[in-house]
Structure 1
């Protein structure tokens, strides 16, 4: 069987050996994108992989092949999914989303180039002096380094640093016992730079210093077996959610190192070279980060099939549960099953990862949940738990409209949180933003408290802001100023309060959509208390509404200040509340409390989603 692609003929196996696209995901479309890829691109693809790999239809080819035909992919490299893992390069210094962003004293020189020595300053690394980290940069070969005691390691890859949360650093360690003289795996350094506070914090320092003696764990060139036993392996703990596909099953070599084999990047755009690190150090740039095929599935069969739509997953055809599974792959806090070997969804007994469109079992069969909750068991305390949050709400199973993640977030968009910038209602286009409430009102208009707001009013927001504001204020009992610094009457301030931590307290929105009532702060005092929406969004540190002053420690919820503030807030939002009565039978606040205390997340089960218990 031969398919004509551009100017060349590419042989395809008549009976491919790998799993086909699931029948339920085939579009049945007759039209196909014209796969007029340049001949050299096809030749590069077919020469990069073995015939067997291509016949199995499970080859991840990389975004550059997608961009060749799909014009919307032109922004692919600006999406934050693509920017997590990067090669640190001097030319990109202090550029968010591209280079090293650490600059603690804000002097315009990154801390590695500055030669920051934590032994000569006060920092979180004081307990480890005189063996605290020393940072350095070598311009001659454009290399970043970290020294601890007598050991100097290369900073091979950075993670994060997009201007939102934090940046961490993956290292290559010189060792004895390997042919190259370097460890094979990537090991996470103890350095974390928090972008909002310009602060260095320690990240799992026990992997670098002995917790009892505070001496370094490693000498100048430690045996590789020691590094494997003590070091914090990125391949074991993290890589599954920061890459697109596994070329081989995860394994552990004779030295105890964890081995991840990525797909090689046969095409690397010069302007985005930093996004293609050589993760396994075989001399070939690799496809890491989250690219097109993380959601659409492996693209080789689609390309070599002349753009056959039945050889690629179209997420727009999926039902709510299946669509949300694409995000579930990573936006959960998990361990692999059945042995808990890896820190991401993976079948560690058979060496399989979940593949969009190909794997019959649901994602939930590939992990056990290890989420971090506040005492109510529903509110996220740790980050990357958005999927658990969502299914702790009624949104994805709502009788009138089941919510998909992609209705609010676009994987094809750049910008903070990748929020959609427009919603289409029939022929009406509604520009959307979280900060002015249009993202929420685009759907909630004409319903409930917002029945007097029409979609047309939301689409022409500036012309109707005063009328919309009056209606929203009647619901929120607060003045209307969602785009001001305090976000007055902004929907997400109450319904999506920031309760989880990525870098600092609190920098991650909840996704249960339930406004956390002040009484829950008091309800769980014996467990240390927990945030409530009113306090964490505004009243604890932004405004002194009740003469209590400001919260001296936003990370603590069982201090006298927290109890006093919760009691004052309950006069308005609580049992018998003047604004929202959490005991009244018809009160939406009562239902919010009941929903947030309900046992267990509801995950729909059906014949199509068997095994999702």
Structure 2
């Protein structure tokens, strides 16, 4: 169902543009011609019967001034598709002929996003000219060549990343990305996993293999996953300890741990094998424990943590659901609840081609793409499965593409670069946000327990794959705007001017090299500590000294800061974070790990900061450690 009219200012601005009254100055009218194709410069087909739309940039700019609605059937959360839905009877359009050619005899002077709607499901809407608004001067300079993305053919199945890389050898570096390294079988690295860029990836694991005993004490049932303090020494108050977990390398060479009940010595100890690591490249690592047919995460190593920190969440080791292994009411050791297995609660955002089946015994068995170099056979069919994101996560199941004739290949696979930014962002956004899906947990799956295919529209995702559209109240700081919980980059991003504006609609891949070719942390194409990371687009702010003086009245030496110091505030915590500014009373503010993707500059008047004790305050630029030179708090 198409969304209802946005109306008001958007309709007015589109009417002005169509009748030659623009908000962009005296740009000339222009005749516009072009062609719509798929594929590359060498191998392509012309796309016939497609509709080419000109969406006025003024309408998108007007939409950006309205607060985004995060809900199903919202009228302003898809900048191009929502504007088009509201103005189909007003916007200029042209059909492509059998040769893929189109023409507009006269386009009123202004700026437009060029958006393609294919005639059928063989291709996806958008096109590579849908992200940057073009002036009529640019549009009229010569025939436009628009490339559109193919779609996932009906019946296509997952074939695994090894098959993809066997043809696309130039993308081998994908195996060194954290999307590929997230889950690893202990002692058995996959050929699809290159850890060379992360020499301390298994720093926590190595401590466990050497032998480590943890005391779980100070239970607080009001907390989330870390209800216990966890320490490698017995607590001073022995009565506060509930149980211990001792990790060791067994005679069979496998990592295991033994739980012992400190409140009831007669309770028989339990032993569990640790099969896999979960994370380790940045900030934290958890450990996947085998219990019957399922695995469960247990214990978190914070790479930047310190036992000198009083906050239990910022120490070197942090509890992760010790409450699943010990029942405080019964004072007994227990096995984790089947309903909380990794297969059911977490795996959908990690496994390539995720599936989930509930067995007759009430267990949940996850599946994923078979791959000869997969990490582990998890579904018992004798073939290894790919337990991390693969090529097909972003490009779609590849079986039809793999067998297609060369000329047909572009139409049988998704190319995110040729999608409108709002659809490309959705590929990342489904997991870098905090909705609840049809399992009523953080997995955004539909009623068939499947994730979206790449190229899916945001509204389809919200309607069919979520029961709660995004983060809950407790996942934000007190201002209700800035994300507090981790994996909420997209949650923030769609509220930023980069997602909705009248100039250039940004996608995640504009800053991050998702194939892993970039040399900077977090797969960034530019060094975030350099001005170049931002001013390649924000040219008006290239003079950082002038920009800081104008915007913040700040006299700090600009050699000591970058754009990221103020605009990339790390509000979200996933590991331990780090120390921020020390206040005049000697109390310490904190910085967190994950950057807010709002890109705003939260000020000290923010309700999440002003009047809040330093240890509980929202991290803002004012309280960053770099502020010591000029800030007094």
CA separation in 1, counterparts of 2:257 and 2:520? 30
CA distance in 1, matches of 2:322, 2:197: 25
2-structure distance, mates of 1:514, 1:197: 28
Partner residue in 2 for 1:166 = 284
The alignment status of 1:245 with 2:353, answered yes or no, reads: yes
1:69 lines up with 2:163 in the alignment: no
Gaps of 5+ in 2: 1-119, 129-144, 216-230, 261-268, 307-315, 578-591
Asked whether the equivalents of residues 126 and 148 of structure 2 are also in contact (C-alpha less than 8 Å), the reply is: no
Aligned residue for 1:212, secondary structure, equals coil
Tell me how far apart the structure 2 counterparts of residues 212 and 290 of structure 1 sit (CA, whole Å): 39
Question: Which residue does 1:300 correspond to in 2?
Answer: 399
> d(CA) in 2 for partners of 1:70 and 1:126?
59
What's 1:233 paired with? 341
Asked whether the 8 Å contact 2:177–2:523 carries over to 1, the reply is no
Within-5 A mapping of 1:381-400: 381-400=484-503
Q: 1:299-321 CA deviation, whole Å, 9 max, x = no partner?
A: 11111113411000011110111
Higher strand content, 1 or 2: 2
CA contact (8 A) 2:123 2:148 kept: no
Secondary structure of 2:388's counterpart equals coil
1:263 paired residue among 369, 376, 383 = 369
1:111 to 193, 203, 207: 207
Aligned residues: 436
- What's the offset of the Cα at 1:504? 1.8
Structure-2 separation of matches of 1:170 and 1:25: 41
Q: How do residues 200-215 of structure 1 correspond to structure 2 at under 5 angstroms? A: 200-215=317-332
Contact 1:20 1:358 in 2 (8 A): no
1:434 counterpart residue number: 528
Inter-partner Cα distance in structure 2 for 1:301 and 1:257? 33
Aligned partners of 1:532, 1:187: CA distance in 2, in Å?
A: 31
Is contact 2:183-2:388 (8 Å) kept? yes
Contact 2:349 2:431 in 1 (8 A): yes
SS for the counterpart of 1:112 is helix
Is it true that 1:362 corresponds to 2:453 in the alignment? no
1:325 matched to 2:430: no
* Distance in 1 of aligned mates of 2:594 and 2:399: 36
Would the aligned equivalents of 1:116 and 1:136 in 2 still touch at CA under 8 Å? yes
Say which SS state the counterpart of residue 509 (structure 1) adopts: coil
The aligned counterpart of 1:581 is none
Residue 111 (structure 1) shift: 2.1
Alignment check: 8 A CA contact 1:517 1:532 kept:
no
Is residue 2:250 matched to residue 1:132? no
Structure 1 position 210, deviation (Å): 1.0
Deviates more, 1:502-511 or 1:122-131: 122-131
1:146 to 250, 257, 265: 257
Change (3 A) 1:408 1:32: closer
Aligned mates of 1:299, 1:417 — CA distance in 2: 29
Q: 2:513 aligns with which of 410, 432, 447?
A: 410
User: Does residue 589 of structure 2 align to residue 533 of structure 1?
Assistant: no
Secondary structure of 1:118 counterpart: strand
CA deviation map 1:559-584 (0-9, x unaligned): xxxxxx2xxxxxxxxxxxxxxxxxxx
1:79 aligns with 2:151: no
Residue matched to 1:36: none
Distance 1:533 1:303, change over 3 A: same
**Alpha-carbon distance, 1:279 to partner:** 3.0
Among 326, 343, 363, the alignment partner of 2:442 is 343
2:433 and 2:491 in contact (8 A); partners too: yes
Contact 2:127 2:419 in 1 (8 A): no
Trace 1:450-461 onto structure 2 (pairs within 5 A). Answer: 450=541, 453=542
Alignment partners' CA distance in 2, 1:518 and 1:29: 46
Q: Give the match for residue 555 of structure 1.
A: none
Contact 1:86 1:99 in 2 (8 A): no
Structure 1 residue 112: deviation in Å? 2.6
Q: Does 1:101 align with 2:202?
A: yes
Q: Residue 519 in 1 paired to residue 605 in 2?
A: yes
Q: Is the 8 A contact 2:485 2:573 kept in 1?
A: yes
SS at match of 1:152: strand
Greater fraction of residues in helix: 1
The residue number in structure 2 matching 1:501 is: 573
Q: Distance in 2 between matches of 1:56 and 1:77?
A: 28
Aligned to 2:93: none
TM-score by length of structure 1 reads: 0.64
What does residue 188 of structure 1 align with? 297
What TM-score do the two structures reach when normalised by structure 2? 0.62
Give CA deviations for 1:246-295 in whole Å, capped at 9, x if unaligned: 3x4x2322222122121211x31xxxxxx613333544311121111111
SS of residue in 2 equivalent to 1:375? coil
| Conserved? CA contact 1:87–1:277, under 8 Å | yes
CA distance in 1, matches of 2:333, 2:197: 32
Instruction: Map 1:366-377; keep pairs closer than 5 Å.
Output: 366-367=465-466, 368=468, 369-371=470-472, 372-377=475-480
1:59 aligns with 2:163: no
8 Å CA contact 1:111, 1:135 repeated in 2: no
Shift of 1:519: 0.4
Q: Secondary structure at the match of 1:336?
A: coil
Equivalent residues of 1:184, 1:280 under 8 A apart? no
Distance in 2 of aligned mates of 1:417 and 1:378: 26
Cα distance change, pair 331–511 in 1 and its aligned pair in 2 (3 A): same
Partner of 1:586: none
SS at match of 1:86: strand
Asked if the contact 1:63–1:76 (Cα under 8 Å) also holds between the matched residues in 2, the reply is: no
Residue in 1 aligned with 2:563? 491
- Kindly indicate whether the alpha-carbon contact (under 8 Å) linking 1:157 and 1:277 is maintained by their aligned counterparts in 2: no
Q: Is the 8 A contact 1:188 1:234 kept in 2?
A: yes
Partners of 2:127 and 2:537 in 1: how far apart?
29
